[in-house]
Chains A and B, each alone.
Chain A
Amino acid sequence: MNQNIRLVDVSKLYGTSGGGFPALKHVNLTIPKGEICAIVGASGAGKTTLLNVMSCLTDVTEGEIFFDDTDITKMNGKEASDYRLHNIGFVFQKYQLMPTLNIHDNICLPYVLAKESVDEAYVTQLVQNLGIESELEKMPDQLSGGQQQRVAIARALALKPSVIFADEPTGNLDSQNGFKTMDLLISCAKELGHTLVFVTHNETLAAMADRKIEIVDGEIA
């Protein structure tokens, strides 16, 4: 089957009984494997929540989410962690690099967490593609924002996940750097055949995706 992620009637309600706030309302969505998908919408529309439920960071209130026919909403904490580790790569707006690890160690962190030996050839190729091969011994605070985000992308791709989620990956970068970084992310994802789902406010960047999904008040427009 060619489908990768399938959301069936997914709802997410924040808050306690009686006065909860609906972040997602009966969302149905299918993201085929290898698709580059941009999620756009106003602030508070539910973009990040959609990303979080797809990555098992947040439980759904209702509905099912299938990942290659596996319902990830039924997973327990440990299974969800395993699922994230081996299938999902994350890129954050604020990079979220470990300040105490050098660039190489930051990129290789997923290998450590997965208890796998580092695929040095792949990592070398990855850093060359991202143009950070000369920065491996440096610490995160010695790099520019754009460089740090490229390190975060390398880390996200390290274990060759099938899906990459990026939450406003260029939000902290200027437009030129943002464009370059997004271009790199998309080209890497395409080259490796990964699915890429990213959240953005920028229409230009959204236009770079294969598909644009707009969310309005928790519903897909």
Chain B
Amino acid sequence: MIKKSFRPNRKYMIWAMITAFIATLIFIAFGVILESYRNNQLDQSIDLYGSYHFCFHGLTDEQIDYVNHHDAVEQTALVRNIETIGKDYVCNCMCVNESLFDISEYRMVEGRFPQAANEVLVPRWFLEQRSHSENPQVGDVIEMIDPISGENEPKVVSGIVCSGYSNIRLTAHHGTSVFFNEDTIQWPGEVNVLYVRLKGTDFKEDIVSSLVPGFTYESETITCDSNDEILYLEGITKDGKRNMLRYLGGYLAIMIVTVLLSAILIRNVLRVMMQKMHGIFEIYFVLGANMSEINRTFIKVLYTYCFCGELLGMLLGLTIGLGASGLLGFTLYVPVKMIAVSLILEALFFFVILLRVKEYNRNIRLTGARTIFRGKHFMFVRFALRNFMTYHLKKVVNILAIAGCVVLLFVVSLVVKDQTKQQDNNDSYDYYLQMDLYGVVDASTYPAEYENLLSKWKNVRDYCISKGHIPYYDAFFVDHYDITKQNMSKELQHTYARTAQGAAALARTNASFQCKLAIMAIGPEAVAEMGMDPLPEHGAILLNRITGKHNMEGSLSGMEGAVIKKEALRTEGEPDEFGNPNYIDVEFQICNLADNIPVYPMLEEDTLCLLIDINEYLYLYGHDYASSFYLKHLTEEEVNEIQGMLTDQTHIRLLNQHEVLDDITHVHRLMWYGMMTMFILGILFVYSNMQLQNIYEFDSRKNEFALLNAMGISPKMLQRLKSLETAFAILFGWLLGLLLCQCLNFVLYHYVIVEDEWIRLEVIWQSAVLIGAVSIIIMLVSAVKNKSSKIDWILKEL
């Protein structure tokens, strides 16, 4: 029956419910999108580098046994180096069991896996090298060291194996694997390497630490190999932890701000409700009701509404989050634990807010016929300001609400900015001929595959040149270079100062500044396109700008003719006694400065570029493989022709960059939609809060308004007075929001995102100006809504 008494205020309860609903919706949708995004990166990493694995060296039988019986371990593979072969290119012949076949994704070309002790499975090149037959084939007998006896023994080749494509291949690319029948191998007391693949996706640091005492990623005493990318994404390495901190920080910031804002709104709803129900409570009081029980019932009812809002928000937030993640092309993930903890915290927070009901009740009793109208000279604005000081400054939360909106938008801007900061290619190229990383197809280990790949690459390149298309090479090596401060323009210095790290480096040095320098490869066709003479040996072009979107024309001065020395590059001459190439320092002379190059490949930000000839680059850096390259303007026929040359696209493929960019644009667009949604919700929040505040004040200050009215101030003027007071609240909230954003910005810049770009003040200003402008509009709408007839009604109530 008591609950029925709350009926007239149901609209306020629904208001509270919607507030809880929207707050929950925002942070849950955001959490789901972030988690899906992170897991998507993780999936991509697993696809690219393989599942979780660790590679341990020099373990004992007991340790191997421990790993084999560990619950978290899915599979292990044992590898032992049995001989070193080759002179020009050192290669380890490794005895491995069948598990590695699966883990490393090897391919059986022909034959079968060894079934007897004298059988082996080898790569073709190994067979060709060892077989005495003119036509080496499966079934041949070769001489090789037996893993048990350690002596050279004849072995029958049971099959041919081909390399796989996984991260393990990368870690073991300096060797070739020869497979033996595991049943016939007796692993000696110590093995060289143990590969471990874990079940599920949870990292088990205890395995690593138990096998490698004192192991820690942070101290970088890594004595085992592992999938660094996954460890980074899982927040296990030092950088990964920082990344995870940013990820969690973004989520927490949005959650805290939305919950705080909603709590402020709910608090205001509560105040208005208590105001409206004052009469009812008084009747209960007079009748002898137990007021604490009435309060409890009131809290229960309101809390039920808030809780329902929270649950609905969770459901819709999940739906929206999953939907948006689906649209963004992410695999869907729900951060269950994070959501559960957030919901519990939110529910507790709402409960604490509602528990303050008694205080509001008491406050309401204290309001009453209070008037502040004592001025001898009536000045409207001054009077409104005085009212604001009296009523609003004491209730700082309402000002905080507006400030919170500015901060919320700022935080969302930061997260969106962080997630969409991928650099595009400035639309400077259309296609990308992508080659796999060096080591995947190693010339010495897999000569046939390598020759095949190189031939495809040459065919495509020659075809493109014959059609008049210039290949823009994507080969670069990032190093460091000291530029003098006097060579750096103010703009360039400012560019570096955008990061805390850059700013600190600039401040530390008086004479020179160490910046990143990419030695980039450029083809003679591209040099000609730039209208420059062909590059002489050790000649170079210095790209007179920093990569990124900012054209830093004139950022470097007096660099023409300068010499940049690079150490330990390969040069002509006799190899040393071990057959290694001759390494000496090479000096590049800057022949030209360039403001632009025809194609901007993806490079790290804040990096200067030194362009040298592609052939010299490949030779000096010892890259006896062909570089990936960019292309502009291919016709459909040409694309089809190239795709035909690449056949199965293994290790080399032609990518349409526009498709990639479309995806990026799509992601950016959705992110902006998200931001706009947040913006609209922010507007709704400010509007709701103002309306509630107005309702509350019209009610609680009716005696004061009546007095003013009696003294000759028309309802219309009272309306203007109230609007002016609201305007002051907006102004203060807005300024406070700006201040908070700037503080947050400072903290992020100096303590959290040290490697990221300095968050420009424009972002804050844009957020603040938008919120401020819209708040003013809302205030006007609100003023119109609180039309003078309403004030008339209030006055008649007296």
Contact = CB atoms under 8 A, between A and B. Distances in A.
Interface of A: 55, 57, 77-78, 81-86, 88, 90, 92, 96, 98-101, 105, 108-110, 112-114, 155
B4 A85 contact: no
Nearest to A156: B287
B355 interface: no
Interface in B273-288: 279-280, 283-288
Interface string B260-293: 0000000000000000000110011111111100
B376 to A, nearest CB: 24
B8 interface: yes
A163 to B, nearest CB: 12
B640 interface: no
Given A96-B283, A99-B8, A81 B2 contact: no
B288 A81 contact: yes
A81 B1 contact: no
The A contact surface, by secondary structure, is: helix
Interface of B: 1-2, 4-8, 279-280, 283-291
B288 A82 contact: yes
A90 B4 contact: no
Enumerate the 4 nearest inter-chain pairs by beta-carbon distance, A residue then B residue, closest first: A85-B288, A84-B288, A100-B7, A113-B289
B286 A112 contact: no
Contacts, number: 55
A56 B288 CA distance: 10
Given A81-B289, A84-B287, A100-B8, 15 more contacts: A55-B286, A57-B285, A77-B291, A78-B290, A81-B285, A84-B286, A84-B288, A85-B288, A86-B288, A90-B286, A96-B286, A98-B280, A110-B288, A112-B2, A113-B289
A110 B287 contact: yes
Contacts of B284: 113
A130 B700 CA distance: 38
A109 B287 contact: yes
A153 B284 CA distance: 15
A113 B288 contact: yes
24 contacts: A57-B286, A81-B288, A81-B289, A82-B288, A83-B288, A84-B286, A84-B287, A90-B286, A92-B286, A96-B279, A96-B283, A98-B4, A98-B283, A99-B8, A100-B5, A100-B8, A105-B1, A108-B1, A110-B287, A112-B2, A113-B289, A113-B290, A114-B288, A155-B287
Contacts of A77: 291
Given A98-B280, A100-B7, A88 B2 contact: no
A82 B293 CA distance: 13
Contact of A101 (B4, B287, B288, B290): B4
B289 A85 contact: yes
Nearest to B6: A100
Contacts of B288: 81-86, 88, 110, 113-114
A194 to B, nearest CB: 16
Contacts of A78: 290
A93 B6 CA distance: 23
B286 A109 contact: no
B5 A98 contact: yes
Contacts of A83: 288
A113 B285 CA distance: 10
Contacts of B4: 98, 100-101, 105
A123 B288 CA distance: 19
A27 B5 CA distance: 38
A67 to B, nearest CB: 13
Contacts of B5: 98, 100-101
Contacts of A96: 279, 283, 286
A90 B285 CA distance: 11
Given A98-B5, A101-B4, A105-B1, A113 B287 contact: yes
A82 B289 CA distance: 8
Contacts of B8: 99-100
Contacts of B6: 100
A125 to B, nearest CB: 21
Contacts of B285: 57, 81
A82 B284 CA distance: 12
A98 B287 CA distance: 12
Nearest to A55: B286
B798 to A, nearest CB: 15
Contacts of A84: 286-288
Contacts of A105: 1, 4
Nearest to A158: B287
A135 B288 CA distance: 26
B163 to A, nearest CB: 79
A166 to B, nearest CB: 12
Nearest to A85: B288
Contacts of A90: 286-287
B9 to A, nearest CB: 10
Contacts of A112: 1-2
